[in-house]
Amino acid sequence: MPDNSQSYQKTISFWDQVFGNLPDFDPAQPLPHSGLEEALTWLGENEPRVLDFGCGPARPLLRAHYHGVRGGVGMDISLGAVNKAATIARTHGLEHNFEFIQGGIPELKKFKDGSWGGFILFNILDNLLPEHGRMLIEEVHRLLTPGGRLLLLNGPYLTEELQEKEMKDAIPLEKNLFLDENGLYFWNLSNGEIKNLLEPGLEVISEKEIIREEGQPGSRLFYGEKSKD
Ligand SMILES: C[S@@+](CC[C@H](N)C(=O)[O-])C[C@H]1O[C@@H](n2cnc3c(N)ncnc32)[C@H](O)[C@@H]1O
């Protein structure tokens, strides 16, 4: 698998800076949306160990501990992100349950097939180049144990009208792929395209919308489960 870190240098600088300035949070406190709390309850049902890829400061992963998740790994290409996550884990006595690793998709190769009971992909798939996004989902299929569960959260789909408004300062790279003014990729995936990526390796058992602001398009939350056979 090619090392893709060269394509993400601006991504790394951007998130290093954002997370370097992020105030601390308390993972014992609920996430600011009941739909996300419900989703973590589902993820934690079988007390799995969970891998959170593109974890950022790993608030959902650390919060998942209070919903049954025993522990796990957060992985992110930004060192600032994993340092922040590790500091929060230590402050709250969770450092023996969770480990944080700087890395991208090639680093997932070090984990064995079927070695994870759960996966979190929050706000990461649409920040990847399509070839890397497809590789990531193949890795999720490989790494989840039979019956293992995935929670995938993706930002809103931008219709052509919304693209003109939201992506006016971005560079279009190809249809539905943009490089924004911060140097971040935006891969605009419809619900059907996300389902096609996840299936048939995973069964999509539920799709929900997470609306944070009335009148604004919501984020899309997919619950996926790997077949038990
Ligand atoms: C929008 S943030 C989401 C953070 C976190 N998952 C959340 O929802 O709060 C995107 C994260 O993905 C990470 N990221 C972007 N490209 C990546 C890549 N190729 N490999 C690993 N992490 C990546 C960024 O460093 C950043 O922390």
Please state, in angstroms and rounded to a whole number, the distance separating the CA atoms of residues 229 and 219.
31
Q: What percent of the chain has pLDDT over 70?
A: 98
> Which of the four pLDDT bands, split at 50, 70 and 90, describes residue 214?
confident
Residue nearest (by alpha carbon) to ligand 1 atom 8? 122
pLDDT at 2: 47
Residue range 133-143, pLDDT digits in tens: 999 999 999 99
pLDDT on residue 228? 87
| Cα maximum dimension of the chain | 48
pLDDT in tens, 154-170: 999 999 999 999 999 99
| 77, 78, 82, 88 alpha-carbon torsion, rounded to 10° | -140
User: Quick one: 5-225 is in which CATH superfamily?
Assistant: Vaccinia Virus protein VP39 (3.40.50.150)
Is the CB of 135 inside a 6 Å radius of any atom of ligand 1?
no
Q: How confident is the model at residue 1, as a pLDDT?
A: 42
Domain locations in the chain? 5-225
- Ligand 1 centroid to 229 CA: how many Å? 32
For atom 11 of ligand 1, the residue with the nearest CA is 54
Q: Is the CB of 119 within 6 Å of ligand 1? A: no
Mean pLDDT value across residues 177-182 = 96
Query: Nearest C-alpha to atom 27 of ligand 1 is from which residue?
Result: 56
- 68-103, pLDDT tens digit by residue? 999 999 999 999 999 999 999 999 999 999 999 999
Ligand 1 atom with the smallest distance to the CA of 132 is 19
Residue nearest to atom 10 of ligand 1 (CA): 124
- Which atom of ligand 1 is the closest one to the Cα of 55? 6
- Asked if 188 contacts 155 with a C-beta cutoff of 8 angstroms, the reply is no
